[in-house]
Amino acid sequence: MIEVTAATDAHVEQFASHVAELFWSTGPASYGYQLGSRTLMDALVAASWPVRGTLFAHDATTLAIADGELLGIEVGFTDPGFLARIDALRALWPGLVESGAVELEQIGDVERRAAQCSWLNPTIPDDVYYIHAIAVTEAHRGGGVGAALMRHALARAEEAGLRAVQLDVLSDNPAVDFYRAFGFDCLVESTAPIPFAAGVPTELRMEHRFGTSA
């Protein structure tokens, strides 16, 4: 039986070693370009996961669990939103430098590449729920975990009276078909020339609008 539940403080330590892989799996080309390495991605997620209001934080995470095992996550929010959570990551850099996870000189390069990739993400309206990430562990893909997480997210957003659910997904991600099956349509295709030349695909902004068929 899959249990879908909001992450709590009690889950922070329990699943800290698993969440970086799940985030990475949603866009390795994009994260690899922006951060330069998987090592830095892992360190940033580990620093962000316990800190509320940051981009990879547990306070915006819904977990799929079975028998105490983490099967997948859905991360989404309305407020604080996407840009606010990105900005909140800045406070984590000094600790990462002090720990040796990142060199001070790297930070400028990371922020420059992240700014280039920011053009891939159109503005998020106030009246939508934004899914930042939905990911399932490799061993449990195809078993209905992602569908359970998506149904939960859609139900919560509709119950909250929001107009729609939106997300961004790289165009080469097999999840595009999964989202279409849940009634998501592509609103915008965004290509940032420099990241695209470095291997970051075109990104799709997709939307599920309530009141339409799914």
Q: Which two tokens stand for residue 166?
A: 């939106």
- How confident is the model over 132-159, as pLDDT tens digits? 999 999 999 999 999 999 999 999 999 9
Does residue 214 form part of some domain?
no
Q: Which two tokens stand for residue 214?
A: 């799914």
Q: Is the pLDDT of residue 79 over 60?
A: yes
How many other C-beta atoms are found inside a 10 Å radius of the C-beta of residue 158? Answer: 16
CB-based burial label for 2 (10 Å; 0-12, 13-18, 19+): middle
Does residue 17 form part of some domain?
yes
HEC string of 93-152 equals: HHHHHHHCCCCHHHHHHHHHHHHHHHHHCCCCCCCEEEEEEEEECHHHCCCCHHHHHHHH
Q: State which residues form the domain around 14.
A: 3-209
Taking the C-alpha atoms of residue 44 and residue 65, their distance in angstroms, rounded to an integer, is: 24
Does residue 21 form part of some domain?
yes
- How confident is the model over 162-172, as pLDDT tens digits? 999 999 999 99
Cβ atoms of residues 89 and 124 within 8 Å: no
- How confident is the model over 186-205, as pLDDT tens digits? 999 999 999 999 999 999 99
Question: Given CA atoms 30, 115, 37, 85 in this order, what sign does their dihedral have?
Answer: negative
Q: Is the pLDDT of residue 80 over 90?
A: no
Does residue 11 form part of some domain?
yes
Number of domains comprising the chain? 1
CATH number at residue 28: 3.40.630.30
Does residue 109 form part of some domain?
yes
Q: Among candidates 189, 156, 11, which has minimal Cα distance to 77?
A: 156
Does residue 177 form part of some domain?
yes
